[in-house]
Amino acid sequence: MENYLQFLSIAILLSGFILVANKRVDSYIKTFRLQSVLLALVAGLIGVGNIAREGNWEIMIVCLITLAIKVYYIPHLLKKTVQKVQYKVEKDFFLNIPISVLICCALVIIIYFVVPHIDDLRNANLQVYLANAMALVLIGLFFMISRKKAIGQIIGFLVIENGLFTAAILSTEGMPMIVELGIFFDLLTAVLIMGILVFRINENFESIDLDKLRNLRG
């Protein structure tokens, strides 16, 4: 099972690079959905192992909740939001795509250099899991600050959360159920609020380009 988890961990990280290399809003949502499917597979594998060893179904429930919220509901909500705004493709970036990808590569290299130096982290598999997950967090943060449109920043926030969730579930083989449910509730609430804000901003200012909103500052 460790080999499958390593493969999924790497695939989740690569999905971050796919996201950074995209400029179509629909592709942002599809990539987030793919990333969430991979995360659900991770939870499913760990859940099957827990059921076989201990008869514990908690992680399998988390897998099903991930499928329901991150794979289906949130992408569906974002698609509905995108249909109400003016743009479908981001054309203006703070940095162009090739430079952005190179910066993300540098972030991964830095994380892979730092993680092995963490005290009491001797397990090689755990180092790989944690390095990939933390690199995804940094990629999500970079994506969030490098996009000018509000939808891209929402996706960046979701990728950061996916990275943190991946780190938690792979390093601990499952957090307490109440903590996981609290995270899902907070995430869903945040996405609902951000979706409403994007719609209202677009309705009032006829744009969700943050550069235009900054011009309103006195």
Number of domains into which the chain is organized: 1
Burial of 54 (0-12, 13-18, 19+ CB in 10 A): exposed
Top-confidence residue, 113 or 176 = 113
State pTM to two decimals: 0.83
Residues 6 or more apart whose CB falls under 8 angstroms from that of 158 comprise 32, 70, 74, 140, 187, 191
**Calpha distance 84→81 (Å, rounded):** 5
The tens digit of pLDDT for each residue in 24-56 reads 888 899 999 999 999 999 989 988 888 888 877
Range of the domain at 159: 2-214
56-112, pLDDT tens digit by residue?
777 888 888 889 888 998 888 888 877 766 566 666 667 788 999 999 999 999 999
> Using one digit for the tens of pLDDT, what is the confidence trace for 1-31?
778 899 999 999 999 999 999 888 888 999 9
Predicted confidence band at 143 (pLDDT cuts at 50, 70, 90)? very high
Q: Is the pLDDT of residue 153 over 60?
A: yes
Look up residue 115 and give its DSSP letter.
Answer: G
Widest distance between CA atoms in the chain: 62
Average pLDDT over residues 202-206: 50
Higher-pLDDT residue of 193, 37? 37
